[in-house]
Amino acid sequence: MDNKIRITILGLGHVGLPTALGFAQIGWEVIGTDNDLDKLDLISEGVVPFYEPGISEMLKKYLGQGNFKVEKNQSQAIKDAQCIFVCVGTPQNSDGSADLSQLETVAKTIAENISGYKLIVEKSTTPVTTAANLRLSIQRHIDTRIKKQGKTSDDFEFDVAVNPEFLKEGTAISDFMCPDRIVVGVDNEKSRQLLKAIYLPLFESEDVFEEKFMVTDVNTAEIIKHASNAFLATKISFINMLADLCEAADANVADVAKGIGMDKRIGPSFLNAGIGFGGYCLPKDIRAFSWIASQYGVDFSLLREVDKINLDRIHKFVDKVKKILWVLKGKNIAVWGLSFKPNTDDIRESPAIAVVNKLLKLESNLKVYDPSISDILEKGGLPTGLESIETYSTPISAATNADALVILTEWNEFKEIDLIELKENMAVPIIFDGRNIYESKEMREIGFEYYGIGLR
Ligand SMILES: NC(=O)c1ccc[n+]([C@@H]2O[C@H](COP(=O)([O-])OP(=O)(O)OC[C@H]3O[C@@H](n4cnc5c(N)ncnc54)[C@H](O)[C@@H]3O)[C@@H](O)[C@H]2O)c1
């Protein structure tokens, strides 16, 4: 095996770009390509098309050192690689299933350009049996090529492996460099060995590597990824139902979460009550998981309930705002947070956007701040219907003269705000905290009318 493994990344999005730069940091020769040529232009100039802490510096460094290159010509990117990581999108179809058309396009592109042996690694999140179908599809396109070009099948050897990605937006680089585990689904030793060689340098010793490197068959690896996201989503909806109960029964959900989370079998993470989960992964993945289960005759109604509970959070939150403020029409409401979680400018399926939409329909005047607002406006813009909202460059300016403040994303900047200054600047000091970032008692002592989620 070469000293420097040559890796191509297909799809330089939120997963593909951090993965590419992570491999470049390990020391591999990485080529990144995408079918969005404007995105490739930006990346080749050292500009990251989305906000992710630490990634901009890495991009400049590895472009400069030459171990990360951007290639517009996908056939060249494929020809040059030993291993191709597929990081394209797997969005949702209207029936909840995963739209795998980007993978089918990739299958054709790979088959048309393959030369010599390639390991094709599916990093995108996909329903079980996608890797098997990807393999069949690549083979079908290769067979067509063999017939047309009169080559032999020895010229086109490949394997398909699954290596689901568990990185989180906002901590993508550290998640990639220090993973909890690396799951690989393979169907032969050759694929396992190449993936081992690729990932081994991330760890201080082979013993540590072996503890974290989990090898399964391809179908199992695909289920591990969907199951992980489904479990996390279930924890969130579970605590949110407890929040409703606490609110009705005059108990405190933050203490309930602490109390149950101290049990090592449960653990404290993903037990923060709030307006629910969003983003590009959890909502679509639980729907795709439940859909694929139904194709195998398994009724995963639990996940449909998790989804329903999550969607209901938005209505419950806005109903609470409506009930307490009485009339929303014409009121100035400050909004803190648009991204689906902190440390990202990703607003895909953001619960904050859903709340903003509802508040706008109720004819309130929104004054919006998000720490990534300039990235959101520059890189993708606001979603249709929200173009006219007033945006501000600081949280205090958004809250000045507001009749109420709603907090929709738990950015650290909000936790560190000067609360006295905030109170003095608001017209009426009412806070609806959709992420429970403050202590109710402290807020009331300062003089706020403070409403969290399931808090006393
Ligand atoms: N975003 C996350 O936090 C996260 C975490 C783990 C797994 N995933 C999964 O990883 C996959 C990618 O997610 P993402 O958030 O990076 O999506 P993304 O939309 O940010 O990036 C996907 C990229 O693929 C490109 N692309 C589409 N078709 C292509 C083609 N034929 N050839 C080359 N490039 C192509 C797109 O232009 C885009 O840049 C999805 O399956 C997602 O579920 C995402």
Q: Domain ranges for the chain, please list them.
A: 6-216, 227-451
Residue 384: CB atoms within 10 A of its CB come to 6
Give the pLDDT of residue 341: 96
What CATH number labels 6-216?
3.40.50.720
CA quadruple 306, 311, 312, 316: dihedral sign: positive
Residue-level pLDDT at 388: 80
Q: Is the CB of 39 under 6 A from ligand 1?
A: yes
Which pLDDT band holds residue 155 (cuts at 50, 70, 90)? confident
Tell me: pLDDT of 1 over 50.
Answer: no
- Residue 220: pLDDT over 80: yes
Mean pLDDT on 355-364: 96
Atom of ligand 1 lying closest to residue 164 CA: 7
Q: Residue with the nearest Cα to atom 1 of ligand 1?
A: 14
User: Which pLDDT score, from 0 to 100, does residue 145 have?
Assistant: 87
Please indicate whether residue 360 or residue 2 has the higher confidence score (pLDDT): 360
280 lines ligand 1 (CB under 6 A): yes
pLDDT in tens, 27-50: 999 999 999 999 999 999 999 999
pLDDT at 175: 96
Calculate mean pLDDT across residues 77-90: 96
DSSP annotation of 155: G
Comparing CA positions, the residue from 218, 234, 432, 427 lying closest to residue 318 is 432
Q: Cβ distance 127 to 99 under 8 Å?
A: no
C-alpha pair distances (Å), 36 with each of 39, 62, 453: 5, 21, 41
Q: Binning pLDDT at 50, 70 and 90, where does residue 248 land?
A: very high
| Residues 179-202 pLDDT 10s | 999 999 999 999 999 999 999 999
Per-residue pLDDT averaged across 256-265, rounded?
98
83 annotated active-site: no
Q: What is the pLDDT of residue 222?
A: 98
Residue 249 above 50 pLDDT?
A: yes
Residue type, 287: R
Helix/strand/coil (H/E/C) assignment for every residue in 403-433 = CEEEECCCCHHHHCCCHHHHHHHCCCCEEEE
Structure confidence by residue, pLDDT tens digits, 287-296: 999 999 999 9
Q: How far is the CA of 186 from the centre of ligand 1 (A)?
A: 22
For the segment 303-329, the average pLDDT, to the nearest whole number, is 97
Q: Check if 6-216 and 227-451 are the same fold.
A: yes
**Residue 63: pLDDT over 90:** yes
Ligand 1, residues 88, 174, 286, 346: which to mutate, most atoms within 8 A of Cβ? 88
CA-angle at 410, arms to 277 and 58, nearest 5°: 90
In the predicted structure, residue 347 carries a pLDDT above the cut 90: yes
The residue contributing the CA closest to ligand 1 atom 43 is: 125
User: Is 132's pLDDT higher than 70?
Assistant: yes
Distance from the CA of 251 to the center of ligand 1, in angstroms?
A: 42
**Which pLDDT score is estimated for 339?**
96
State if residue 453 touches ligand 1 by the CB under 6 angstroms criterion: no
Say what the pLDDT of residue 387 is. Answer: 84
Which pLDDT does position 119 carry in this prediction?
98
227-451, which class in CATH? alpha beta
- Predicted pLDDT of residue 150: 77
Least-confidence region, from 150-154, 247-251, 316-320, 427-431: 150-154
Instruction: Give kind and range of the element (H or E) at residue 331.
Output: none
Region 248-273: what's the mean pLDDT? 97
